[in-house]
A and B are shown apart, each in its own frame.
Chain A
Amino acid sequence: MSNKTALDLHDVQGNIVKPYGRYGFPKARYVFFGVRDGIAGRQFVSKLAPLVTTAAPWRPSNVGPKISPIPEVTTNVAFTYHGLRDLGVPRASLQTFPDEFAMGMRARRDILGDEGPSAPDHWDPIWRHDEHVHIMVAICGRDEACLERRYQQVLELAQASNSGVELLTGHRGPNGADDLPYQAANAIYEAGQPTAKEHFGYTDGIGDPFFKGTGAHDATLVGGGKPTGLPPETAAGWAPLETGEFLLGYRDEAHECPEAPAPKLLSFNGTFMAYRKLHENVGSFDSYLEHVGREFPEGKEALAAKFAGRWRNGAPLSRFPTEGEANEFAERWARAKNAINQAKSHIERVAAKQHFAELNQQFVAFDYQNDLSGGRCPVGAHIRRANPRSGLQYDQLLAFEAPGALSNRRRMIRRGLPYGDSQTERNDAGDHGIIFMAINASLRRQFEFVQQQWMNYGNDFRLGNERDALIGNHPVGPLGKERASVVIQRDQNDTKPPFFCNQLPRFVETRGGDYFFIPSLTALRMIGEGSIDPT
């Protein structure tokens, strides 16, 4: 399927295709329900369906002429395995869902490395019970008022069920609260404006996979697709990923239609999601950066960049190896963005947008072929672990069928927002972190693989058992003392020695979550009707 041949975007839920944050939705509530009565549950789902935001474009695109206005609030629905079961999806259908989805995220903790401080014992109460969470309703709003209106609307639907559908409480929040009725999330604001930052100060959500059929703008293909081997600074360096990596019922990168739940109408245009509440130990992070940043020859900001693979302003190390270059790029980018608003004519505006788009591309238009030693972007940097691009070929170009053959099937769509506040107090104990959502056709092959093999392990990168500096589940020794190290490589021709970050504390801890199925609109209606028939 080429990008020109459109998916039926009205059938696909919007959160899969659209990063809502980019459309001006800085606030969210993630609301969870338990189904106590199948009939009531199905009625609830049927009434939710008309509220659900689809993937149909909000702006003019190269697919279809319709332009819908951007709504004030979005709503999307997803189900756990036990949710589908209690809504009456037939057993024969349930048994065709993948094992990891049926087990749920808590049961997969050994694979995900959710142990020690990240163990389920420490999770928010709502996530600590078996078979408890059934339905997720994700609401994103332009402001608190929009959010509240939609939230009340959804609550009314649940309340109309006479306890057949129960709102689940048990979310932790500020000031020691631990029984809140939803998980709130919000962009971090600076000078009154929402930013794309998370609590460690990094600019988040830059990379997004580009796959066939969404009608997304061709400009986002660069860096978002899979590498072709041609120069990554150009469009020719990238090709769209197969739809089947992210949506069920389509060809995937292995050129097959992967196994999907039966019947086809239930899974087609649907997908799977891992929802994770990730607490950030902001105090430990700041402190480590301060101490070790003093020893690191290039300084604290450069050390932060080495952890992530991007400077905290988002500029990638691969293209902007020094702080000066990164800051200079940020300034140019800000000026270019401003120029769009300042444009006095249509021609000026078009030119300003073009220039801005070119600069924007530089955030993602790079690969690692000229940086195999990791002297620019460390081999174990976060973005490089999450998406090694063509780096796993090492120096054997043409080693595989395609340059990204080992990475192309491990991509995932990331959605989510930060939660909590870290501006009044930058400490560990405060309630602040990220609500992280990974969306992919196969939880096991994509999200779980990256988490287990590439984040909490380093063998594929020739780093032994070194973990990701930012999110790795760094171990402690017998006396409780941190003992993990991360190596920051130097370029082979560099006379400076590699730098060791020793005794890394765990900066990120899991505080809850589960695995969800995001159905198509058709499947959602059928679940509500109780008309799923696997025979």
Chain B
Amino acid sequence: MISFPILFLVSVVAGFVGAMSGMGGGIVLIPTLTFLGVDIKHAIAVSILSVIATSSGSASAYTRDHITNLKVGMFLEMFTIVGALAGASITIVSSTKPLYIAFGAVLLGSWAALLFAGEETYHAGEQDAFTRWLELEGSYPDYALGRVVHYKARRAYFGAPAMFGAGMIAGLLGIGAGAVKVLIHDLIMGLPPKVSTTTSNLIIGVTALAGTSVYLVAGMINPGLAAPVILGVVLGAFIGTRLLVRLTNLAVRRFFLIVLLVLAVEMIIRGIRGA
């Protein structure tokens, strides 16, 4: 058994890096736990349980600030939870090798997304009839601009199936997959960046719950892992968001790019060789 202090410390670091980079704790937590000798399925299970805590924690602040769009969240949740149930069910029956490779691929994807990440741009566009019928629009107080920003979402018919895919990745690999959800909100549905990140946080909580329920039934929630991981990741995420070092600093960004790449290559090699 891995000692409590080590598990706790690893989780604090994972939560901290996850919050700072906006990638979520699971991306760092799961590879590290497997390096410590935890079976990858158990690492995935405990990670997705901890995701409920970190995402609900930050979502609580954002909803009370009236930035989160509840209707967008609750419409898209219908699709992510079904995806998460499917994804987690696949993980349960899968052998471990493909899981390592899939995780490595998602890490590589995150690495590429971070490498090519440009300035956040937001273009308002024409709303279609279906999205209007869904009432997917709103306003939020932008304190930087000093005014209330009104916006209308669009292309919900593309957003919904894409969110099924995002939910599936979340359930399959035990991560929040917030980066994927934000991409869908930004690029497909045309939500302002602030609304898309905060609404994604809300969605991640229920999506993670759907995934966790599958792992609980499979007997993969190990309390000896869960207790230090939940406390550690939440503490790390709390410190990370308070510091607000949002990868603007070039050195931090470079460091994180290297970490992601090393973890990705390591996971893929382990997947090919067998852990």
A pairs with B: no
